[in-house]
């Protein structure tokens, strides 16, 4: 069964790069351009994603707030989330304040990205 990954970033070039990498690995990828769109998609899609890859810094609703809202939902609190950032990885983990599966730092190391996604999706 093909795993579904939802990518959220407000920068189209970032989503395109991630989508290209992950589709090459035979994942089904959907895109959201804002935190609000992520929250709507996971609530309304018949099949929730197997993984959410979420940018930390976005306008209106940032990645931290999206994670907090998802973790408050009984239906989605176990949804695996991987945060994406250009900031220090340890700072992002500390600032998040809720459970996430990992952090990917920009610029991406494709092999590390694929390994992290595979490790999360094979649990």
The CATH number that applies at residue 107 is 3.40.50.2300
Each residue's pLDDT tens digit, 80-121:
999 998 766 666 556 666 678 888 888 889 999 999 999 999
In a domain, 78, yes or no: yes
Length in residues, the chain: 123
Instruction: For CA atoms 69, 30, 26, 103, give the dihedral sign.
Output: negative
- Give the chain's domain count: 1
In a domain, 32, yes or no: yes
In a domain, 121, yes or no: no
In a domain, 37, yes or no: yes
What's the DSSP call for residue 2?
A: P
In a domain, 45, yes or no: yes
In a domain, 14, yes or no: yes
In a domain, 120, yes or no: no
In a domain, 30, yes or no: yes
Range of the domain at 77: 1-51+65-85+98-111
Cβ density class 109-122: b for 16+ within 10 Å, e for less: eeeebbebbeebee
Please state whether the predicted TM-score (pTM) of the whole model is above 0.85: yes
Each residue's pLDDT tens digit, 7-33:
999 999 999 999 999 999 999 999 999
């Amino acid at each position: 069964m093909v795993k579904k990954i939802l990518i959220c970033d407000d920068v189209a070039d970032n989503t395109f790069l991630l989508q290209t990498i992950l589709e090459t690995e035979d994942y089904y990828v959907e895109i959201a351009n804002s935190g609000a769109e992520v929250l709507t998609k996971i609530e309304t899609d018949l099949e929730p994603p197997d993984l959410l890859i979420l940018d930390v810094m976005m306008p209106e609703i940032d990645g931290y707030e999206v994670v907090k809202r998802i973790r408050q939902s009984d239906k989605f609190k176990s949804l695996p989330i991987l945060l994406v950032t250009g900031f220090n990885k340890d700072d992002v983990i500390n600032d998040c304040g809720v459970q996430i599966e990992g952090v990917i730092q920009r610029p991406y190391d494709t092999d590390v990205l694929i390994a992290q996604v595979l490790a999360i999706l094979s649990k």
